[in-house]
Amino acid sequence: MEQDDTPKLTEFDTLIADHKMQLIKAAIPYIPYSEQRFISVYIKFNELMTTMRLFDSNKDALGICSVNENATTADMLNALKVHCNQSEKEMLEMIENFMQVSALYRQYAASSPDSGDGQNTASAGGAFSPMDLLKGMLTPEQQSTFDTYSTLFDTMK
């Protein structure tokens, strides 16, 4: 099964680039080289003018690009994936997985009565940290990345 790597238009692009401009863009490689620069600048100028008109005349037009107030970071990452190549998608998926693991850990830490410092380590009674269990499921590279992000997020608190 072939994967379509054709860049997708964003919702914003659909507002500023009409069908005619898309056709002209598709034709640029076939236009004589001496005219490609002018046509390219014309298209971008046209898009800039359309964008300025959107902001000046119709406040609701850009509203269709806005997400609702309840949108999450995961929603944004999913919207970005449509425009990513395979390696970028994998990176976004790793970020999503990290966010899910972090959320699970926060839920566990909040519900655990002995999680005062958030670092449940193995004790003489045989208790173990769920975070250690989850990290044990990661490859060494993923563990390193996870530790890096954990440190980064801890410094942001």
Which of 30-44, 86-100, 141-155 is the most confident on average?
A: 30-44
Residues 94 and 151 in one domain: yes
Does the residue 5 lie in any domain? no
Residue 79: domain span: 73-110+128-156
Question: Contact at 8 Å (CB) between 81 and 89?
Answer: yes
Based on the number of CB atoms within 10 Å of its own CB, is 47 exposed (0-12), middle (13-18) or buried (19 or more)? middle
Residues 95 and 77 in one domain: yes
Question: Contact at 8 Å (CB) between 62 and 16?
Answer: no
Closest CA to 21 of 56, 65, 66, 51: 51
Does the residue 95 lie in any domain? yes
Residues 55 and 77 in one domain: no
Q: Give the pTM.
A: 0.49
How many domains does one find in the chain? 2
Residues 37 and 77 in one domain: no
Residues 78 and 46 in one domain: no
pLDDT of residue 33: 92
**Residue 31 phi, psi dihedral angles, 5° rounding:** -85, 145
> Please, which contacts does 142-148 make with residues 24 or more away whose CB atoms are closer than 8 Å?
142/94, 145/94, 145/98, 146/98, 146/101
Closest CA to 95 of 70, 118, 77, 80: 77
pLDDT of residue 12: 79
Closest CA to 102 of 134, 125, 128, 124: 134
Residues 141 and 103 in one domain: yes
Residues 27 and 51 in one domain: yes
Report the mean per-residue pLDDT for the chain: 77
Does the residue 138 lie in any domain? yes
> Please, which contacts does 145-150 make with residues 24 or more away whose CB atoms are closer than 8 Å?
145/94, 145/98, 146/98, 146/101, 149/98
pLDDT of residue 30: 93
Choosing from 63, 82, 97, the residue where a domain stops is: 63
